[in-house]
Structure 1
Amino acid sequence: MSLGQHRLLIIICALGLVCCALACGSRGTGPQRRLLIYTPHGQDMLRDFVARYKQANPDVDVQVVDMGSQEVLGRIRTEQNRPQADLWWGAAHTTFQTAADENLLAPYRPTWADKVPPEARDAQDRWYGTFETPEVIVYNSEAVAASDAPRDWDDVLDPKWRDKVLIRNPNPSDSMRAIFGAMIWRFYPQTNSPAGGYDWLRRLDANVHEYTADGTLLMQKLARREGLISLYNMPDARLYQEQKKLPVAYVIPSSGTPVVIDAIAIVRGAPHEEEARRFYEFVTTPESLIHAAQSYYRLPARTDIDRAQLPAWMNQPITRMKVDWNLLRREGGEWLKYWDTQIRGQAQK
């Protein structure tokens, strides 16, 4: 063997050893399981639950994309011919049902399927409810006394709140879509049309100082007194009050409030469906739901949860507004389009 051939043999052997070492290292320490989640649940809650899952499943590479509910729906639509996400965790049941009707979700019947009421699950197992989300009136608790805060929806229309109301842009937000839809639904049965609800939204627009881009900006501006009153969901209002220490408080409207079912689903064609099922089950155990209630103010949808382990305020009765969710789902897009083009920012200040 020539010197050149000898050197070539050494190089080949060395490369073989490196490749072998890398392969062994990958088998020993590298993640073999993967999971991609689309969710609007917010970074604090996401980091917590991903860390908990990885503690029990250290060989899983979990990636999370945090975006608004409507953005998730749009992205899954765009990717339907080549799905990227495995799991969709969080959005209104109406949004999930739209996705189910478009064949974007895979059927999966969780082990606790009979522990939620019929209205909190899809009849074909394509989504299941995880949390209940009541909508509330929020106010700056330093600038507005509790006795002076609006007690019901129509109180927010009082001229004394002119230019003092902040509203999150409803287009990407399921909570705001539910509130706007419910306000239209209140008047819909009287005329079988959205006209009365549009009038209500016009009166609201007259009091609006700003439509903010997202919920974080909404709460920050409310805390800075750029506005004093808002409409939003109870869990987020509670989180900003207790964890972020912002001067905000809320009122559950006395006549009743729409309660949105927050849900979970596996994406049809998910690249890692088995892992998606494992995470699905993990975040919906009684232990996980109680943790979400205690730490993130999420009201569990499961009926078998030990209510004694929930915060006391979660066991207080809520007057639920009766809403035709199917009508809101079918017509809500057109209603919002009308608001966006014919009502938003049109009021004389």
Structure 2
Amino acid sequence: MFKGLISISILALSLVACTRSSSQNQPLFIYTTMDEPIVRQIVAAYEKETGEEVEFVRLSTGEAAARIETEKNNPQASLWLGGVGLSHVQIKQKGLTAAYQHTSWNKIPAALKDGDGYWSGLYMGVLSFASNSKQLKRLGLKKPTSWIDLLDKKLEGQVQISNPGSSGTSYNLIAALIVQDGETGAFDYFKKLNHNISQYTRSGSAPAKNVAIGEATIAVGYAHDIVRLIHDDKAPLELSFPKEGTGYEIASISLIKDGKQLEKAKKFYDWMYSPTASQVMADYYFVPIVSEGIQLKADSINPKDIKLINVDLEWAGKERDRLINLWNEKING
């Protein structure tokens, strides 16, 4: 009997060891919220420099956070790359991430990382307006320079933003406008804006892409995405910012708690602050937080040059579920 128990124990340990070995011998598997072309460039550069393979699944911020929570008892990925920092804060609060102070930790300003190492900022993105110049001319409008401009009656069915339930971009907008106008004032604004909305998209980058092809006239999105559409895709877009102030993201990176490939993930995490990784991001009009020795695109938008609305990240993380439910009830119901 004891021999049987010993044999079973040895077999179980062998299976565990085999599973671990199998995971470590496989390509690193991550979730990412960056646009797929950018991630492909990042992964290609990483694989070329390190010889380590990476596989990824691209998800919106809300989808990534939800999947990480759903898989908490059996994580499939070991790292989340990109995505609005507010959601990285929230999954940290839910105990879904692991602390790690990467090799460039001391180069990151305190306001752009978690004090305990649960997430770290890669770059900042500023919320802005993307306007189709042809559509503006047709409607007899100028590009918006205020949040109030989006309420113009001429824009009925002509504005797109993303759904805050799936997109961190729009949750970022909700949090910023609450800081600016209070919760009641912000939701009153969204009720009025709803009359002009043609579509609430799943992804935060989709509205500007849709406006670029004339599906709507104005979108709210991140400036780096809009600048890229203007310069690389030659889209007929005009970029502008609200004079009252605007929200911003701290696009971040986190290790997933109990991930099966954490050592591989840490190596990739460290590399994301290398000059090579920073240059790939800069080539897509991002302004990396660690930017020594890289060349920024001439038309990149530096957040320091824009009037920003500062949001308490801990508050926004704790309030996310409640505010999304409130938005669904009052606006999207």
| Gap change, CA 1:260 and 1:217, over 3 Å in 2 | closer
Aligned-CA RMSD value? 2.2
Q: Find the counterpart in structure 1 of residue 284 from structure 2.
A: 296
Q: Equivalents in 2 of 1:100, 1:167: separation in Å?
A: 27
Q: Match for 1:122: what amino acid?
A: D
229, 232, 236: which one aligns with 1:247 = 236
**Paired residue secondary structure (1:50):** helix
Q: Deviations over 1:221-260 (max 9, x none)?
A: 3133231011111122222222233222321222221121
Q: In the alignment, is residue 210 of structure 1 matched against residue 199 of structure 2?
A: yes
Matched with 2:176 is 182
Q: Letter of the aligned partner of 2:297 in structure 1?
A: P
Mapped contact 2:60–2:204 kept (Cα < 8 A): no
CA distance in structure 2 between the aligned counterparts of 1:118 and 1:259, rounded to whole angstroms: 16
- Structure 2: distance between partners of 1:330 and 1:46: 29
Offset, 1:135:
0.5
**SS in structure 1 of the partner of residue 260 of structure 2:** coil
Q: Is the 8 A contact 2:123 2:289 kept in 1?
A: yes
Distance in 2 (alpha carbons) for counterparts of 1:75 and 1:88:
11
Normalised by the length of structure 1, the TM-score is 0.81
What is residue 271 of structure 1 aligned with on the other side?
260
Identify if the C-alpha distance between structure 1 residues 255 and 227 changes in structure 2 by more than 3 Å, giving closer, same or farther: same
Q: Distance in 2 between matches of 1:147 and 1:199?
A: 24
Q: Please, which runs of 5 or more residues in structure 1 have no aligned partner? A: 1-30, 189-193
Q: Does the aligned pair in 1 maintain the 2:130–2:219 contact within 8 Å?
A: yes
Aligned residue for 1:83, secondary structure, equals: coil
Partner residue, 1:124: 116
Give the paired residue count. 306
Aligned partner letter, 1:155: D
1:311 to 297, 315, 324: 297
User: 1:81-119: CA deviations, max 9, x gaps?
Assistant: 222111111112211111112221111111111111111
Give the TM-score normalised by structure 2.
Answer: 0.85
Q: What's the counterpart of residue 147 of structure 2?
A: 153
CA distance in structure 1 between the aligned counterparts of 2:298 and 2:176, rounded to whole angstroms:
27
User: 1:1-349, aligned counterparts within 5 Å?
Assistant: 32=25, 34-58=27-51, 60-144=52-136, 148-188=142-182, 194-215=183-204, 217-293=206-282, 295-302=283-290, 305-306=292-293, 309-313=295-299, 314-315=301-302, 317-344=305-332
CA distance in 2, matches of 1:285, 1:34: 20
For residues 100 and 239 of structure 1, do their structure 2 counterparts lie closer, same or farther at Cα, with a shift above 3 Å needed? same
Q: Give how far 1:139 is off.
A: 0.7
- Give yes or no for contact 1:261–1:301 (8 Å, CA) kept in 2: no
Farther off after superposition, 200-209 or 246-255: 246-255
- Are residues 39 and 205 of structure 1, via their aligned partners in 2, closer, same or farther at CA, if it must alter by over 3 Å? same
Q: Is the 8 A contact 1:139 1:229 kept in 2?
A: yes
Secondary structure in structure 2 of the residue aligned to 1:300? coil
CA distance in 1, matches of 2:44, 2:187: 45
Name the amino acid aligned to 1:204: L
Structure 1 vs Structure 2: percent identity of aligned residues?
27
Amino acid at match of 1:161: L
**Distance in 1 (alpha carbons) for counterparts of 2:60 and 2:221:** 14
Identify the range of structure 1 (217-226 vs 77-86) with the bigger mean alpha-carbon deviation.
217-226
- In terms of mean alpha carbon deviation, does 172-181 or 238-247 score higher? 238-247
* 2:176 partner amino acid: A
Task: Give the aligned residue type for 1:310.
Answer: L
CA distance in 2: counterparts of 1:185 and 1:332, whole angstroms: 14
Distance 2:199 2:74 in 1: 39
Segments of structure 2 that go 5 or more residues without pairing to the other structure are 1-23
